[in-house]
Each structure stands twice: as structure tokens, then as C-alpha cells.
Structure 1
């Protein structure tokens, strides 16, 4: 095999090869084999290359591609293969010298050009293989969102989702087959529930209106999280997230997840963050999954089990929060991991454990006492909550 890449990933638009730059056309003409979805293969003129349809599901095509290693292969992908496209999935099984990419215009660029929306301030989401709840953190009046859709039927489902979340007045622009002869643009609102039919490939531009946006800072309202009373309350949660101090790319263990509020707010802080919630109660574990899905962070991993036993085999964390099930055994297990630890305690017995951990390992010990104004006869007085002792320690 020569040092030249055997695989070329070509970004193809709806206008077919007519819109390709010379380098992409040359790669197609030199290819022994062209792989791609039927829609893309149908856009090609007669070529000497053998054509192979990429199967569904997409992952099933990777072994077929790898079996062609060493031959001149071109893979067709939509627009820009590395902008919410297939490129990263393909190249993760290859080495750097085996492939090259010749991108085209992405559907996001084409949609922004039709709408006059500045792409750098527009939220771009791949919703063709993801739940609509991924939109939830971004739904706010004044935002601009461009999202890919699975098929024409997804338009009505998107409108229903927006209406259910209170964003019925939102403006929708449905853009079909951008850049090709079948291009069509339809304007509507979520309330009007446009029925179509709409043809694939399809993107939706959303200008949210109405509804209640999620706040950007930690300490979101308690009623945002379905719970049975086992929840880290808003102000304590904000202080806890501040102590956990999430940084891009980090992984959190949330031990004793309860409602999942800590792990969910951790994930809402940045799309690169990861979290695992460990919860012994099956009903609460199911509720954590529901909360995470509804708030757009369905990437939260939920483990049903009791710590420390349930921690075995989990991906290593950068930060650990202990909100329930605190014990000497659990502390001994997590102390040797090398992650930041934050633990909250309410009972005297748990406080004693944290005081001992602080004496041995250092860190910060904080006692949080909060009171809220409440009716007291015909007047008002301060109603105190149970104090919370918080230990935080960095390795």
C-alpha cells in the first residue's frame, strides 16, 4: 500500500457532482469503489467505480469499509462530514494516514444563508437521531436554532414537542433538500402544526417564542425536577455545584442520586461534561432517567445499585458528590481515587464522618444554615431548615 490515503470522504450536496470542487471530482473519478447511501449514489453519473450501498444501521457499514482497506475508496456523506456528520464515526476506526476528507457545504451553512442568520451565533443540533428534548436547554425567546430532522413525519412531532413545552408561538422554517433541484422552504409556527408532506433531507430552523427558558446558572428551581422529597434543594445545590467546580470534559460520580438534580445541573453546565448517577432505589433511578431526558441531558448514565459496591467498573471520575448513603466504607473507597470530593451531611453521625475526613485529608468544612420567611400567626418569622455540613477536598 502506498503512503497516500486509500479512503476519501467526500461531502456531497443535493445538486450532486455539479457542485463539487475539482479535487472531489478527481477523487470520484479515481475511485475503485464508491460507498454511500442510496440517495447519494443516485446523484452520481456513470463511473467506472463499483457502487456499494451503505447499510442501515450506519455502524454495520464499518466492517464492509474496513474490508476494502488498501483499495481506492470514496465514501459519500452529506455536506460537511465533520459537522454533525458521519466523518468522525468513520475515522475513529482508522489511523490518521488512511483517510482524507473533502467537505462540501453543510445543511447548517445553507440554511443560515437562506435565512440570513449568522451561523456563529446560531445553535446547530443534530436531531435526526436524537430526542427532541435535546432542544430544551436552548429554548429561549431570542435564540436561533437549526436542527436536522429524521424525516418528514418528524415535523409534526417537533411541533407537538414545542407546544407541550409552552413554545407553541415559535416560528418554524422547514428547509427541504437544500442546494438541489427539490429545494423547498416552508414557514409556519409550532401551533399551526404543519402537516406537510415534507421530504428528506430536512432541517428545521426554530425561533423560540413563549415558554419558560431554563436559567443558565446552577441552582435551578426545585419544581424543575420530579422528586419524592429526596432532592438537594436549590440553594444548597448551587453551593454544591460551585464546590464541585465542573471543567470542560470532566466526569462526575453522583452517589445517592435522589432526583438526579446534581448530575443534571452538572451536565447542563457544558456539553462536553459526563456524569454517572448511582441510586439504590429503582423508582428513584427511573425518575432520574426521566428528569435527565426531559431536560435534554439524556447522556446521563444511571446505575442502579448501592455504593461502594456499585462503583466497581465505572469510568474514573474527576469529581465525586456524595449526597446519600454516606458511610465510613464509602469514604474510604472514594478517598483513594484521586478525584475532587464534595459530600453533604445532615445527621450528626454523617457530620462526624465528614469532620474525621477533614481532619485526616484536609479540605474545606462548611456549615450551611438557611432560614426562610414564613407565616407566624398574623405576622411572619424565620423558619430554619436543617443545617447542612459540606466537606470538599481536592487531591
Structure 2
């Protein structure tokens, strides 16, 4: 298959500064899609191309322009600004939200199309999104130096030691897991308010001395770099197009909240009913988070297990199932404070609230452990090869776990934790309620075995 789509990274210099071979790709396309500031630099192609030997089917496959036009009329909608480049090409300006932008591209499937994107399209860009929608042989990516690369070069930060994140169109709270002593962060941003929110969070976390740097219009004639401590940062002094750099400096009193499982219990807002720190660390270890995996936290309480799961692995996802109204509010507070805004909260009685939910890679059963109908619904929903972990503190719960272990196997452990206390003038280790923990992997051939 010949690629019909070329995704071209563009710098602040615009289309005119692209390498000659890449400019040829733009000239051969029937449709060019991108932001208005890039489309303004697309000049008409002369009737007699200076390099006719390059205009071959191997470089880009031509398609029927009338069919492309019909697709544009059907899919792009009346609100999509389009114009003729003066040489038969159609120029289309991006129309947010992202779903509309994807539809604009997919409507042109099979016709020679170029997408103009900022910097490196595959690094938090449109290329990364389209890569999930298209077969690899359908498109080619032509990267430009990314905003992260330019920012790291200006700051003299070795990029391999920098956390690179996107807060563009995302809650600024997503920066929380990266706020650690000595850590350096480069973040894409939405507008000046992103830096304002980040500064407020740094001060609140005890990182007010951290150096915040706004790197505006990188690579362009209006490039400007300004920086100051978070506690003095003035977002009104910067524009809306910048990369934010944060060099984290912690106060002596700043709490340490690393992505490793086992955050202090005090890091969570709760009513006391939460999986305690030591047991939670063991629980997350047996749930075994991995990139992109989905957890169901059933009977989530304050959401501590779901929150730690998402912090433990890149792009990990979680759904917290909880029916108590006050606890739902606690989950929402903890989600924002600990930097996992994508955590999904589902209100309702399980297992009825499972209806329509995506199949999980792992399930934590923290409430209703003795409920056999609830367990069966969880086991049925779990993907083959997925993990289920259940914690019990009651005799009924323990009995249910013993029976399931006898039937399905897995690991069964007792976790006893003692905490320092005082009895008169003497110090003692007072035991907490012991926790019986069962961890099991659903056989990959479970469906076949059931039949």
C-alpha cells in the first residue's frame, strides 16, 4: 500500500522553512490540513513543477478530486474553513475539538493528504492520535524538532532526565505525580492559566522555591524566555503559546509523594475506611500495574488503590465503583490532589454498575468480599490472564476467600501490621486488624474450560 497521508512537523518558521523534499510532499497533496498560521504559508504551486521527475505515484498517490470534495462536504461540515490554494489543492483549517479534527482526516482516507502539525507530531501530537486510528502503512510522519527538544536545549537540561508531559487541554493537576525533589519537568500548556495553576500547586505542595520558566514562541523571531520562583511567578506577564519548565525544589517540610505504591495515609482524604499504607503497597504489588492497563476498584472507598494504580504505570486507567455519596466526593478530592484526573468514578450498586464498562485487566475487591454474586460478576468481567486481588478483615470475608482459593488457586497470605503506641510509660507495637489477601490470575483458557 502507498501511504496516502503525510503528517509533517512544522516549526515557528512555517512551511517555507521545511526541507525541499518535504515541501514537495505539501505541493503534491490534494488536501492540506492544519492550523491557520501554517496554512497561510502554503504558496500556490507553479503549473510546471520544477522537479517533474519527483511527481510519481511512488511519492504520493493521486485520487479523484471530485470524490475528495464530496467527502469534505459530507464530513467536514459547514463550519470548517476551507479555501482553494489556487492550484487545485484544498486547504482546510483545523476545527476543534479533537474528535472533529480526526473526522476531518478520516473523511479523506485514500486521497493524497498532508497534515501540518506543530513540532514532532508523534510526541503528544496529532500523529500519536492518528496512529491509533490508521494502519502503519497508510501514513508517514516527518518530524520537526519538538518543543521539548528546543526547550531542553535552551535550558541546557539533558532531555533523558526530564519528565515530559502534556497539560494542553488537560487538567493542570496531572503534574502532581512529577513534583518530586530535584525533578525537572517540561510541560505543554493550554494558555497562561496553566502556568498560574501550576504555580499555585507548587506553593501548596511546599515547592514554592521551584524555578518556573516560560519558553515562549520557541524557534521564532518572537522567542522569549522568562523565569522565576513559583511563589513569585506572574502568569499575567506571559502569552498563551509557551512550554513550561519546572525545576523542582522542595521545602524541608514538603511531603514526599513518589509514584511508588504506599503513599502515607494522610495523603488521602478519607473517613478512616481506607486500605492502609502497608497493606495498600502489598495490594498494588500483587495487582501489578503496567502501561495502559485498566483497573476496576470495586467498593473503592476513598479511591486510594485506584489512585495509586494510576500513579504506578504510564497511561494506566482505573474505574472506581462506589455508592456512598460522601466517599464519592472524597475520591474526587483525592483524584485532583494526587494528579490522576483521568480516573473514572462510577456511582451505584455493584454489580449493576458494571453494565457497559470496558473489561478490566485487574480488579481490586475491597468491599463486599463475602458477596458471592459480586465476586462472580467480577470474575466474569475480568479479562483472561487478568489479576484479581481481594482483602478481607472479617471472618465471613476470610471464609469466602478460603473457599475461592480452594476452587481457583492463587496466593493466600495473612498481613499483620503493628504500629507504635503507648501503654502507660511503655512503648508497644499495637496490632491492627489482620488482613487476609487473596490474589489470583484468571486462566487464559478460562472460557474454554468453562465450556
User: In the alignment, what sits opposite 1:8?
Assistant: 6
**Offset at residue 358 of structure 1 (A):** 1.8
Q: Secondary structure of 1:299's match?
A: coil
Alignment partner for residue 320 of structure 1, among 359, 363, 375?
A: 363
**Offset at residue 366 of structure 1 (A):** 1.8
Aligned residues of 1:140 and 1:212 also touching (Cα < 8 A): no
User: In the alignment, what sits opposite 2:68?
Assistant: none
Distance 1:122 1:148 in 2: 13
Structure-2 change in CA distance of 1:93 and 1:320 (3 Å): closer
Which moved further from structure 2: 116-125 or 46-55?
46-55
Structure-2 change in CA distance of 1:157 and 1:368 (3 Å): closer
Alignment partner for residue 25 of structure 2, among 22, 27, 37?
A: 27
Which moved further from structure 2: 123-132 or 372-381?
372-381
Distance 1:244 1:6 in 2: 42
Distance 2:377 2:34 in 1: 50
**Offset at residue 119 of structure 1 (A):** 1.0
User: In the alignment, what sits opposite 1:330?
Assistant: 374
**Offset at residue 46 of structure 1 (A):** 4.8
Deviations 1:253-287 (A, max 9, x none): 21110011111111111113222221121221232
User: In the alignment, what sits opposite 1:110?
Assistant: 150
**Offset at residue 215 of structure 1 (A):** 2.6
Aligned residues of 2:177 and 2:338 also touching (Cα < 8 A): yes
Q: Secondary structure of 1:278's match?
A: strand
Alignment partner for residue 79 of structure 1, among 119, 137, 140?
A: 119
Q: Secondary structure of 1:180's match?
A: coil
**Which runs of no fewer than 5 residues in structure 2 stay unpaired?**
46-86, 443-451
User: In the alignment, what sits opposite 2:268?
Assistant: 225
The reply on whether 1:62 has 2:60 as its aligned counterpart is no
Q: Secondary structure of 2:301's match?
A: coil
User: In the alignment, what sits opposite 2:175?
Assistant: 135
Compute the TM-score of the two structures, normalised by the length of structure 2: 0.82
Distance 1:196 1:185 in 2: 14
Distance 2:292 2:315 in 1: 5
Distance 2:20 2:317 in 1: 42
1:160-239 to 2 correspondences below 5 Å: 160-210=200-250, 211-239=254-282
Structure-2 change in CA distance of 1:389 and 1:187 (3 Å): same
**Offset at residue 321 of structure 1 (A):** 1.3
Distance 1:392 1:92 in 2: 33
The reply on whether 1:345 has 2:392 as its aligned counterpart is yes
**Offset at residue 220 of structure 1 (A):** 1.1
Structure-2 change in CA distance of 1:366 and 1:65 (3 Å): closer
Alignment partner for residue 380 of structure 1, among 403, 427, 430?
A: 427
Q: Secondary structure of 1:291's match?
A: helix
Aligned residues: 393
User: In the alignment, what sits opposite 1:244?
Assistant: 287
Distance 2:133 2:440 in 1: 39
The reply on whether 1:365 has 2:442 as its aligned counterpart is no
1:113-128 to 2 correspondences below 5 Å: 113-128=153-168
Aligned residues of 1:252 and 1:321 also touching (Cα < 8 A): yes
**Which runs of no fewer than 5 residues in structure 1 stay unpaired?**
none
Deviations 1:79-129 (A, max 9, x none): 110011111223444333332221111100111111111111111111111
**Offset at residue 226 of structure 1 (A):** 0.6
Which moved further from structure 2: 86-95 or 369-378?
86-95
Aligned residues of 1:256 and 1:325 also touching (Cα < 8 A): yes
Alignment partner for residue 277 of structure 1, among 289, 309, 320?
A: 320
Distance 1:208 1:90 in 2: 34
Compute the TM-score of the two structures, normalised by the length of structure 1: 0.93
**Offset at residue 7 of structure 1 (A):** 2.2
User: In the alignment, what sits opposite 2:340?
Assistant: 297
User: In the alignment, what sits opposite 2:197?
Assistant: 157
Aligned residues of 1:162 and 1:190 also touching (Cα < 8 A): yes
Structure-2 change in CA distance of 1:46 and 1:162 (3 Å): farther
Q: Secondary structure of 1:355's match?
A: helix
Which moved further from structure 2: 180-189 or 237-246?
237-246
Distance 1:133 1:190 in 2: 15
User: In the alignment, what sits opposite 2:352?
Assistant: 309
User: In the alignment, what sits opposite 2:78?
Assistant: none
